[in-house]
Structure 1
């Protein structure tokens, strides 16, 4: 039925009933009595309508209260208001859910997001923006962003309004890439991207290429020089020619070792080369490392092995490479007549492998950077010891793959101790050992 009819039909019926009642009273009691009854009935209807209007106005002031019940046309009015209220509650619930999801999504973003009005007052920001820019949403809301971020370059960027290109900004020991995006007519979005880590990786990549090129250039220069001499002087005496060939062979081995170490690092860092754990018989492995160290020392040092620790799980090849690098470094940087101790023992946090020497030692400022690629404490001595500068970097990556940690203690001119601590879960229990032996 038409909603207008639902409103007018009851009103017309009530008026007809009032007139009919007044007519009956006038017929029996006279015209005056009929008019009085009609007036009283109309007045009662007006009072009732005013009462409903008052109740409606009270509900509008406090919409959270229950809707009043109605009579006649008011029933339809209150029913419609109730439906509107339910729909409004449903829409509000959906809006709150969407706002909650939006805030959760913004909170999880690695990039900072700041919403500002047209005069740069802060309205909202996510946790990443708080970290990048030093903001606090509750504390700084309603404050001007240029008063919160004290950077001349950032202020100039906002004032000039040239937002086509992002701004690279150094702030709070971070390198940030800042974008301003106009949003609606009276709002702007500031987006910050932390490029600190990518910049560090790019810097490492450039250093690696430069250092690798430098390390390869030196032996190539030597080889090319001798080849030019051989071409220019074909009648060199056999002794000189043999000396040149020996030096070229030595430089060729140096390049080969460097390339092999670079390939090992690449393989260790590759996600396509997962660790394949296997039982590692530590006494046998360390015995091989001891033989290699004695061959490298050629009797110039006293090298001892104490192996009282348990067997572990890991990669035999990788652990031999890591342990071999630690011991070979001790041999290279310990003067003739020095002592080198290899110790494999149980520990409270897990088994430990230690290499202790009484060599030249390392100054404290160098210790934190020892595992960087091509980092050398003394470049001239590194050339004398024929190291590639990648040994400790290989050690670091091998230990990361095995969940182990490297500790370094050193006193200049007194010696160094390199300690590898494996997690307790790496230890092979007796049943596992027996099963491996049976297999």
Structure 2
């Protein structure tokens, strides 16, 4: 404004000087010409300002007269606002990346319980597609009556355990709803499927151990009570010897179960090691002798053993796995059946220990569950021959600790083949 007044004063002074020299008409003409020039200059400056307002990110036009000071203040404010906005955007991007990186699912809702945002984990958990489902009620997406009842509460002091099915996937989610911001809601969902399975496994394990121990304990207690309550002269030496034999048998079952449980616990808790060179042939020979004793000469045994083949491993663990596979073959192969034991190096460089039988075979639906603790295809037959139901679980752990694979091939009525395939890195090269 000061510049404009100075310019106007200069034009007025010039017009007065001209009027004193060339007449009043000339003075007025010069003043009008000056005012027109000022108007034209102001119009040009306003035009430049107008063009600048279309893209305020650029610096303002230079030399726009009285507007210079105003535009400088406006531009500085715009630059500061842009910087603050940029910082806010970066901060928001960081928050969104952090939300995406969360191991838990997160869903934000407005006051009407409509979806406004979710991270990728929540999409995986619930099948929510933000591009399609944004703005829709969460109750149309999570169609579970227990969730609807939970979400419509006024307070949510405890999370909700929710079981959802998405395609072929069953999930257990621990869901917590909370308020935030201005009448907005946040749902946090944690996948506890594996934890729930582990808890179920733990409960089943305790129940199975209790059941497996209860049977021999009941039998043992019954015989002890009988022997204790009857007069000594009422039992013959043969009967007394028979009772003692049966009690020893039940005590042996409990001892075998405890031994297998301790073995399994050791395998699960101790760290894996590379081990030392082990010749498996003597271990297999020992297991064969034990299997023949268990068989009581009721089976035909065929052995194809490479006596020099060695692997790096832990001898005690390998002995347990070798013996378990042979013992199972004896238990599930009828009288006069054939059991073939092989230990050889494959063309691909692996070392393979296999036990093939002509037994009752296994149904295809049972094969994936064979390595579960206490799982038996034929419970009565296994118990009758002294099985604990832990042999294949132990064998699987031994295989994993040696980098091997436990492979099972079987058909009902056509026998089974169990094999431990050790990787070439475990096989010790023979010296010429």
**TM-score interval (norm. to shorter):** 0.7 to 0.9
Distance 1:125 1:255, change over 3 A: same
Distance 1:14 1:175, change over 3 A: same
1:437 equivalent in structure 2 = none
Counterparts of 1:239 and 1:305 in 2: how far apart (Å)? 40
2:286 equivalent in structure 1 = 288
Alignment: residue pair count: 424
1:253 equivalent in structure 2 = 252
Distance 1:119 1:39, change over 3 A: farther
User: After alignment, is 67-76 or 119-128 more displaced?
Assistant: 67-76
TM-score normalized with structure 1 length: 0.85
**How far has the Cα of 1:239 moved from its partner?**
3.4
> Would you say 1:184 and 2:181 are equivalent positions?
yes
Secondary structure at the aligned position of 2:366 is classed as helix
**How far has the Cα of 1:295 moved from its partner?**
3.6
2:403 equivalent in structure 1 = 403
Counterparts of 1:255 and 1:230 in 2: how far apart (Å)? 20
| Unaligned segments of structure 2, at least 5 residues | none
Counterparts of 1:403 and 1:379 in 2: how far apart (Å)? 30
* Map 1:263-302 → 2, pairs under 5 A: 263-270=262-269, 272-302=270-300
Secondary structure at the aligned position of 2:353 is classed as strand
**How far has the Cα of 1:27 moved from its partner?**
4.7
Counterparts of 1:52 and 1:415 in 2: how far apart (Å)? 99
* Map 1:130-279 → 2, pairs under 5 A: 130-172=123-165, 173-233=170-230, 235=232, 236-270=235-269, 272-279=270-277
Is the contact made by 2:113 and 2:138 (CA closer than 8 Å) also made in structure 1? yes
Hey, which bits of structure 1, 4+ residues long, moved more than 6 A? none
Secondary structure at the aligned position of 2:413 is classed as coil
Is the contact made by 1:312 and 1:428 (CA closer than 8 Å) also made in structure 2? yes
Counterparts of 1:292 and 1:205 in 2: how far apart (Å)? 33
Is the contact made by 1:69 and 1:78 (CA closer than 8 Å) also made in structure 2? no
TM-score normalized with structure 2 length: 0.87
Distance 1:72 1:329, change over 3 A: same
Counterparts of 2:302 and 2:89 in 1: how far apart (Å)? 71
2:381 equivalent in structure 1 = 381
2:97 equivalent in structure 1 = 104
Distance 1:99 1:249, change over 3 A: same
| Unaligned segments of structure 1, at least 5 residues | 1-7, 435-439
Counterparts of 1:137 and 1:400 in 2: how far apart (Å)? 42
Secondary structure at the aligned position of 2:312 is classed as strand
